[in-house]
Homo-oligomer: A and B are copies of this chain.
């Protein structure tokens, strides 16, 4: 294992390659379905070489998840209490849909983990996620109390946004079976926009 000094050029390159490869493999096959050999090959390394940079398969997975959780929650983090309520929420939704479009692997990485009961990130969820959601739903509740947007159950409002936007990344195959050649996001963006305008109108 490399010493914990400043990382060398090679360390940076290889760690990045491993995480990139791991994202591909874990998101496509889940933790159990991924093999260290597969990740190593995809990263252009031998298995022992990969294990020189990360002590175990589990460690790669953990590093990947915790490194990406922040990115994943960023759109919600940016929801601003001082902005225009309707526009803030719609722009949060657009950012979230954009994430599904640009980072489908990341979405599926989390989806895989969640569907199986989040055995490896349950604690991170109940801390970071819970806190962030509570903070933001407080804002939503304020807006509702002030009559700026329709009164709805704030948690379920958040769930609906997650469900709708992540569906396009997580169940991509199903979406494409139905849509054929049509670009999913072409139709999704106006659809969710209309949906939430109607839903949130006071």
Contacts and interface: CB of A to CB of B under 8 A. Distances in A.
Number of this chain's copies in the complex: 2
A136 to B, nearest CB: 11
A114 B170 contact: yes
Contacts of A159: 164, 167-168, 175, 178, 188
24 contacts: A29-B32, A30-B32, A30-B112, A30-B115, A31-B33, A32-B33, A111-B111, A111-B170, A114-B170, A114-B171, A115-B115, A122-B173, A125-B174, A133-B178, A152-B194, A155-B182, A156-B188, A156-B191, A159-B178, A163-B163, A164-B164, A195-B195, A198-B199, A199-B199
A83 interface: no
Contacts of A116: 28-30, 33, 108, 112
Interface residues of A, number: 54
Nearest to A190: B153
A162 B133 CA distance: 23
Contacts of A150: 198
B33 A191 contact: no
A164 B196 CA distance: 13
